[in-house]
Amino acid sequence: MPNNMWVLQKAQSFALELLLVAILVVHLNGLNQEGQCLLEMKRSLNGQFGRMKSWVPTDLDPCDWEGVSCVNNIGGPRVWSLNLSGMNLAGSISVAISNLTSLRVFNVSKNKLSGEIPPELGMLLQLEILDLSTNRLHSEIPPQLGQLSSLRKLYLFENYVRGNLPQELGNLSSLVELVIYTNNLTGPLPPSFKNLKNLKIIRAGLNMLSGPIPPEISECDSLQVLGLAQNQFQGEIPKELGRLQNLTNLVLWDNEFSGSIPKELGNCGKLEMIALYENSLVGRIPVELGNLKNLRKLYVYRNNLNGTIPMQLGNCTSALEIDFSENMLKGFIPKELSHIKGLRLLYLFQNQLSGTIPRELGQLRNMWKLDLSINQLSGSIPIEFQYLTCLEHLQLFDNELSGIIPPEIGVHSNLTILDVSENILSGSIPSQVCKFEKLILLNLWSNHLVGNIPNGVKTCKSLVQLRLGNNKLTGSLPTELCRLVNVTAIEVYQNQFSGTIPSEMGNCKSLERLHLSNNYFVGHLPPELGNLSQLVSFNVSSNKLTGSIPLQLAKCIKLQRLDLSRNTFTGSVPEELGNLVLLELLMISDNKLSGRIPGILGRLSHLTELQMGGNFFLGPVPPEFGQLTGLQIALNLSWNRLSGQIPAELGNLSLLESIYLNNNQFVDQLPPSFAKLSSLIVCNVSYNNLTGPLPNITIFHKMPASCFIENQGLCGEPLSDACQPLYSWPSVLPPEETKTSLGQIVAITAAVVGGTSLAIIISIFCFFRRPVRVLVPFEDQHSVTSDVYFFPKEGFTYQDLVKATNNFSEDVVIGRGACGTVYKATMPTGEVIAVKKLASQREGSNVENSFNAEISTLGKIRHRNIVKLYGFCYHQESNLLLYEYMPKGSLGELLHGKSSVLDWDTRYKIALGAAEGLSYLHHDCKPHIIHRDIKSNNILLDDNFEAHVGDFGLAKMIDVPYSKSMSAVAGSYGYIAPEYAYTMKVTEKCDIYSYGVVLLELLTGRPPVQPLDQGGDLVTWVKSSIQTTPLTSGVLDERVELSKRRVVEDMVLVFKIALFCTSMSPSDRPTMREVVSMLIEAKEKSMHVTSSPTSETPLNEDSE
């Protein structure tokens, strides 16, 4: 027994000695090989290593280091997982990583790593998860990654990875998830993907992938999510996708797919989402989609689909949202949709649907948003709609609906938006439409409604917009409206309201738009209206108002449009109106105003139109009017008692198109300075006492002689050489004759009456003689035997355009949009232009609407930052628009594509140019123009990187009478202002929000659409990121010179402007004029602040 104890003690002693020797050996050797590899990797990085302090060379192994996990093997611990996500690391990925041969997980996501993806990663044969997402990597995908046969998840999203997808990725036999969205990848999907039998998820959106989807993708039997949105895929959607029995999400929106929707998709029984919107799909909606019992969301809007809505869709009983809007669907709305009991959103707007609205839709108790606008629906609004307890948005505008509005609409639900405008509805306004005080928009304009404004509307505290114009409403303007603190717009024009305008109206502190025109209001304008500090547009024209113009209106300092015309105002024009420096439209014509015209009105430098005709103004025209250099539409001083010489200063109005000085008492010559009025179309100076020659320039030669008649001594073209008047007035009486005979009185009276009638006719003729704006009506253009052209110069024919585009070949396509394709055309003269070919008119009214919009908008615009329209051609149902060619393409292509990087000075130049172009549309056009689709792809660049705002397919005039609230989605995802969701109304502020998104693109280099887990859009991502991340550490685009202090300080100032533009509240956003001023000021401030010699020194790490 003692011997055994002795043996045991010896053995224990020997083991202890061995352990000590082993420890000594390890300490002599130091950190193991894998630890050395990790330190080598750390040396390739830079940044703030706060979380990597544990990475020290004195350890035996790296297993306790931050982000490192090990597994014990026979030969000792081996690194199994390396997770450095979100550690604010920069630099590159070291090839030393390839020595970690046991590595299963490598995650360096959410850092600022740049450089290449090391091909040596292909040596990590046990790797299962590779996550390099949300960095700044800009290489191609190494084909060596195809060697990773154990790889299950490959995440490369949100980088600048370029090039084609390697065929070798088809060798990743274990791959389950491939997530590569938001990169610069190009080329096709490799057919080798058919080998990925375990693949469940492909997310490759927001790249530049192209070509057709290979039918072989259908051999990926396990595929559940196919996400290829926002690429350039073409061709038809493969019918072979119908073999994917496990497919749940098919997301192909915003590509260039054509052809029809494959009926075979009806075989994919597990499908939950189909998103095919914003393509060029045609044909019918397959009835086979009715087989999809699990379908929850079906989005096919903004295509060219026709035919009827299949009744079989009523079998999709799991559906929550269906959006077929902005197509060319015809026929009835199938009542079978009422079988989808869970349906909460149904958008069918902007189609060609007819018939009645099925009463059965009133059974959809979960319905939240219903929009059937812009169709040809008739009959009544189903009474059952008033019982839909979840209904918040009901939009039925621009149809042919009749009958009454359901009287209890709003009684049983939290109704937020009710828009049934542009129908033929009768009856009264429902009294309890705002019972729960959630109503934001009430738009009932252009119907046949009668009666008073009910109490339920007058006291609706949530109301933001009240639009009741063009009805037959009566009564007085309710004083209760003045207590609605949120209301920004009150429009009751063209009704039968009477009484006085209540002084309490001055209490509407948020009011921006007050339109009361074409009613029977009487009395004075209350001076309390001067308290409306937010008022932008005020129109009381065509009423019976009397008294003087209250000088308190000058306190409405934000006023841009003031129309007091066609009333009976008396007295003089208050000089205080000259303080309304933002005023763009001033109309006080057809009143009984008198006295001299105040010269201080010459301070209104933003005026584009000034109408003062039809009054009793005396004296000379103020020479200060020569300072109104923004005047473009018209200066009308006709039918007054103005005298003296026409001031030469008016020759400074170089943008002016129409000037009306007729029927006054002007003397002497027409100023020679009028020869400088290069934009002039109409100059009517008839019925004055002018003498001398007319300016000998072409624009005057082309005007009708009737615009110069009844002046004693005018001569020159277009008048006859003898300068004989076209109408003979009685000779001047001798001085001694002091009385006029009865016969002379009769003769003179007859002459005046006749002359006045003739002058009115001539004035109307002159006013409408505007060649740029008067187009051949489209209904008269549809002759198949003739072409219709509008060009400022001759020489282009349809045949020239066909030849210049090689018969509209795909080889010269330079862009595609929702309404057509853009071709590069080299004309016989060598001149290069861009030709936009709109889709055939047979494909629906959307196309013609787009054609009309672009012509009516661009045809009158002259600005260096607006794409120039050369003309149009209509040929056998082909609508062609001819534009100035922009050789640098779009900002979006340069910013997010694989092209050369834009430096900050170029980006700032583009930002300012785009702002000036948009400011011109908002403030200097008549009527003012909302672009509706501002985005980086619609900002085009010339050879000098000068920005030109283009693509007016969605442009709408702000000031068109009775302009409708467009329910059809205006704009592009990521750019749409938040208030559009509840107002469905596009305003200038929506454009400003979209422009702010473009600024953020320029500043961050990121696209407008972001992953859902980061907010889904750029604005949300930015506002979230700046709460936790310095601007120079992951927010500002690292591709610009962030090492230069001047650049960073400049970008920070512009960043503040971008946040200002993207404010949640429209009232908090600046105007485009203010944006231009702020951009200029920011540049000047930056240059001033950074003018020291050290301004270009690199930023140290602490400054980040």
Catalytic residue list contains 787 = no
Where would I find the beta strands (DSSP E) of 694-740?
A: 713-715
DSSP string, 699-720: HHHTS-GGGS-S-SEEESTTS-
Length of the chain: 1104
Choose among 1055, 1092, 1063, 897: nearest CA to 993: 1063
Choose among 1065, 399, 480, 456: nearest CA to 442: 456
Cα–Cα distance measured from residue 1089 to residue 1080, given in angstroms and rounded to the nearest whole number: 14
**Which residues on neighbouring strands pair with residue 379, listed in sequence order?**
401
Choose among 195, 192, 229: nearest CA to 209: 229
Number of C-beta neighbours around residue 860 at 10 A: 17
Q: What's at 699, amino acid-wise? A: I
Where would I find the beta strands (DSSP E) of 48-122?
A: 68-73, 76-83, 89-91, 105-107, 112-115
Q: Taking the chain, what is the end-to-end CA distance rounded to the nearest angstrom?
A: 74
In the Cβ-directed half-sphere of 385, how many Cα atoms lie within 13 Å? 26
Cα–Cα distance measured from residue 568 to residue 540, given in angstroms and rounded to the nearest whole number: 12
Cα–Cα distance measured from residue 212 to residue 940, given in angstroms and rounded to the nearest whole number: 28
Contact 322, 343 (CB under 8 A): yes
Which contiguous run of DSSP H or E holds residue 1024?
Answer: helix 1018-1028
Inter-helix orientation angle 1018-1028/988-1004, to 10°: 60
Q: What's at 852, amino acid-wise? A: N
The token pair at 937 is 């792809």
DSSP string, 256-268: EEESPPPGGGGG-
Residue 815, classified by CB atoms within 10 Å of its CB into exposed (0-12), middle (13-18) or buried (19+), is: buried
**Which residues on neighbouring strands pair with residue 537, listed in sequence order?**
513, 561
How many helices and strands in the chain, by DSSP H and E? 14, 64
Cα–Cα distance measured from residue 128 to residue 149, given in angstroms and rounded to the nearest whole number: 9
Choose among 747, 741, 685, 744: nearest CA to 716: 685
Peptide linkage before 927 cis (omega within 30 of 0)? yes
Residue 381, classified by CB atoms within 10 Å of its CB into exposed (0-12), middle (13-18) or buried (19+), is: buried
Choose among 730, 688, 726, 685: nearest CA to 708: 685
Cα–Cα distance measured from residue 327 to residue 305, given in angstroms and rounded to the nearest whole number: 5
**Spacing of C-alpha 1010 from chain mean position:** 17
Contact 409, 418 (CB under 8 A): yes
Which residue in the list 61, 323, 924, 933 is annotated as catalytic?
933
**Three-state secondary structure call for residue 945:** coil
3-state secondary structure 536-594: CEEECCCCEECCCCCHHHHHCCCCCEEECCCCCCEECCCHHHHHCCCCCEEECCCCEEE
Catalytic residue numbers, as ranges = 933
